[in-house]
Structure 1
Amino acid sequence: MRFLSRIVAVLTMSLAAACPGVAQEEGRAQFGGDRYLAGTNIEATEDTDRDLFMMGETVSVEAPVAGSAHLMGRRLSVEAALGGNLYTMSYALDLNAPVSGSVSATGAELRLNDEITGNLRASGWEIRLDGPVAGSALLAGGQITLDAAIAGDVVIATDDLRFGDDASVGGTLTIYAEDPESVTVPDSVAPASRVEILQGDSYDDTHGSAWPIAEPPSFASRVGSFLTGVLIVTGLAVALAALMPDRLAELRARSVEHPGQSLWSGFLGLSTLVGAGFVASLTIVGIILMPAAILLAVLAMLVGYVLGVYVLGGAIWNALGRAAPTDLFSKALMALSGAVLAALIGLIPFLGWLFALALGLVGVGAMVRSWKLRRQIGY
């Protein structure tokens, strides 16, 4: 379990190290009440009417957000109240303001110092909870310190669990540890009747498994998941269109110009990246590069898929006889059409997965070909 926690820390540090290279110039955009910010050191100093999206090396939320906040960077700081949920991926996170929704966070160092009205889901190397949680909490990390009240059920996976004077659990406390006998829970936290301490990676005959088995999703939940996925992909495409319109237009042109070459270049680029990580892992020093290479490959595929969806939307746009969009709203409609079609095709067994893979590889290939061309012309 400690090894897995270190892997989480390595992955998040690798991601944070990659962020400055992604956003060297500051970019700011607004669309539909949402605010998009990217740069090296960025601060959100104006109120956000809906959702906030930020990515950079150091990221700070200094003004209230009416909706949810999506933050990615090396060091994150939330200093103003959030009206919705908080989603973060970073090396370090300092939460110093209340969150009206739930919190989902992963990083090496997480310090949650203010009230969380919803549920808490956190994973990292070191997690410290000093603010109360009105819902339930799911925590996994190398070292976890609880010094606040959690009203609902709590599930913790760690080898180093510490309780402060203000720690308490209102529901059931379930702890997974490699050495269950070494874990002691004070009565002030929760009475023994509401505490269960289990072996970390074992299965229990009574419970069936260490983690609850979810019921099959209903039709309504499937439709909701489908629409949520479409909106997320569309939102990412719109963010790219707002923050880097010229570069996105260039990548789209590369994809449309020679889709076969882009597909092949994407395959070679990802193979090179993962292969280099594997070769480096053969040395002791290079072992940490393997998860970093895998993470970068996953991120590249994510960006490539978003780009592929944008290109697919452009194909639909052209088939309808429309000129290339110039305003952000038209670009959003184009991205939405591509996201819907890609999601519908993705529902086809086996073929849908291959189609999604091809879209991602085409997008990655476009980035590789654009990078090669810029190097050739010295741009």
Structure 2
Amino acid sequence: MRAFLFITAAAFLFAPLVAGADGITFETERGNIYAAGSSIDVAKRASHDIVAAGGQVVISGSADNEVLAAGGSVLLSGRTGGDARLAGGTITVMNQIGGEAVLAGGKITLTPDGQIGSGLIAAAGEITIEGAIGGTARIIGKTVTINGTIDKDAVIRAERLIIGKNGIIKGNLRYEAPEEARIAQGAVISGTTLFTRTEPVRLGEKGAAFLGIWWVVKVIAFMAAALVIHAAFPDKTRELTALSVNRFGQGLITGLIVLATVPVTVLLLFMTVIGWLIALPVLFFYMAFVALSTVLGALVFTRWAGGYVLRNKDPLSSPMILAGVLVYQVLGLIPLLGWIFKLVFLLCALGSLSHLTYRDLKTASAPATAPTP
């Protein structure tokens, strides 16, 4: 029954992929806070890291170490002691980030109260900097507005660059754009300014840039999802990934059967008078299984690469998961072969997931054996 509970909880945990649901938040013994759901607010202080993924993500609590978050909208109003890696449609930073910030999304805003201690790497359609950046800022965007302070160099590529009256760049400004920047009276650039004129971005290039940003957002979202799943269900995750690696062929065939036959079964059930009553929950859990397996596939790859290739004693540690997900997504970029590679691991994870669920459901439904007198 434990695997069934695992699937049920995980399905609701990642309900933004299949349905609406509120979020859940929990804390580990190491002081990490993990949160996921359609709408979440992490208000507690984490003595280590905060990892969050969902539709609307608000982090109002502080993290002594790092923050990793992905969502439709991400609001960071709590203090971060170390680095922050955020991805989303809209990203707003309203407090101090002690280390480096890596931000990718559609619209990024660093408010006047926002501070970044060790540099910024940002990519988005619209980027507004009104706070302070302690290191170098490396920015790619369509419209970039600097109306805050950058302590070191600013390296910018944009279609339109605006330096507001409160903009201060204490180092050099190097930027590429189709036209020169609009620099308001009162703006300060202490170092040299190097402008490289570029051709206006064409429609195809805009699409490529968008896909690049979307890929970064997806990678960060996958990292957050993988960490949350493993933190929420460490024993089940280890069992599933071990089963997938040790019985790879069996998992692959089972996953292929599940992926192909369940939709046909659901369709046939919908054609009957009362079959839809069964078809609806089956369809929901099928979608949840497939959605969950997209992340579990990356964990299976991490387990295989970390345990069998690198001989790591803990192949599912947090650093290994982050590295494994990154490599998994990079390999997935290979034309055709990358798609096949990811599909194989997804099917293997789906097969193992289905096997564990069937096994535990069968065990739970078996009649209890009476003790021998």
Task: Report the TM-score, using the length of structure 1 for normalisation.
Answer: 0.59
**Are 1:335 and 2:319 an aligned pair?**
no
How big is each residue's C-alpha offset from its partner over 1:149-199, in whole Å with a ceiling of 9 and x where there is no partner? 11110011111222222011111101101x23x434357434597111103
Q: Deviations over 1:316-341 (max 9, x none)?
A: 9xx9xxxxxxxxxxxx946359959x
Higher RCO (CA < 8 A, seq sep 6+)? 2
Match of 1:208 in 2: none
Distance 1:195 1:266 in 2: 57
Q: Does 1:20 align with 2:16?
A: yes
**Once structures 1 and 2 are overlaid, which stretch shifts more, 306-315 or 79-88?**
306-315
- The correspondence for 2:299, drawn from 296, 302, 306, is 306
Which residue of 97, 112, 115 maps to 2:95? Answer: 97
State the secondary structure of the residue aligned to 2:159. coil
Q: Corresponding residue for 1:255?
A: 244
Task: Spell out the pairing of 1:1-379 with structure 2 (5 A cutoff).
Answer: 20-21=16-17, 24=21, 26-113=24-111, 114-177=114-177, 179-180=178-179, 182-186=180-184, 188-190=186-188, 194-200=192-198, 239-245=228-234, 248=237, 251-252=240-241, 255-256=244-245, 258-260=247-249, 262=251, 303-310=296-303, 333=314, 335-336=316-317, 339=320, 363-369=345-351
Residue 236 of structure 1 deviates from its aligned partner by 7.7
Q: Secondary structure at the match of 2:145?
A: strand
User: CA contact under 8 A between 1:66 and 1:82: conserved in structure 2?
Assistant: yes
* Aligned-partner Cα distance in 1 for 2:88–2:254: 30
Contact 1:123 1:139 (C-alpha < 8 Å) held by counterparts: yes
Could you tell me which amino acid in structure 1 is paired with residue 167 of structure 2? Answer: A
Give me the identity figure in percent.
Answer: 21
The question of whether the paired residues in 1 share the 8 Å contact of 2:40 and 2:58 is answered with: yes
Q: Is the 8 A contact 1:112 1:131 kept in 2?
A: yes
How far off its partner does 1:358 sit? 9.8
Deviation of 1:52 after TM superposition, in Å, equals 1.1
Contact residue 29 and residue 243 of structure 1 kept, 8 A:
no
Moved more, 159-168 or 236-245: 236-245
Amino acid at match of 2:117: T
Offset at residue 235 of structure 1 (A): 9.6
SS in 1 for 2:97: coil
Partners of 1:129 and 1:144 lie apart in 2 by 8
Q: 1:133 to 1:368 in 2, by over 3 A?
A: same
Change (3 A) 1:148 1:261: same
Change (3 A) 1:103 1:304: same
Amino acid at match of 1:367: A
* Rounded Cα–Cα distance in structure 2 between residues aligned with 1:142 and 1:94: 17
Distance of aligned partners of 1:124 and 1:61 in 2 relative to their CA distance in 1, 3 Å threshold: same
Summarize deviations over 1:59-89 as a string: whole Å, max 9, x none: 1111221111111111111111111111101
Task: Describe the SS at the equivalent of 1:105.
Answer: strand
**CA spacing shift, 1:123–1:337, aligned 2, 3 Å:** closer
* Residue pair 2:173, 2:189 contacting (<8 A) in 1 also: no
Show the counterpart of 2:365. Answer: none
Render the CA deviation track for 1:188-217: whole Å, top value 9, x for unaligned: 434597111103379xxxxxxxxxxxxxxx
Q: Using the alignment, how far apart are the partners of 1:143 and 1:312 within structure 2? A: 41
Distance 1:339 1:197, change over 3 A: closer
1:223: which partner in 2? none
- Sort the Cα spacing of 1:166 and 1:262 in 2 relative to 1 into closer, same or farther, 3 A: same
Count the aligned residue pairs.
278
Contact 2:50 2:68 in 1 (8 A): yes
CA distance in 2, matches of 1:303, 1:243: 13
Task: Show structure 1 runs of 5+ residues with no match.
Answer: 1-17, 203-232, 270-298, 320-331, 347-352
Q: Distance in 2 between matches of 1:143 and 1:116?
A: 20
| CA 77–107 in structure 1, closer or farther in 2 if over 3 Å, else same | same
Contact 2:172 2:189 in 1 (8 A): no
Residue pair 1:76, 1:93 contacting (<8 A) in 2 also: yes
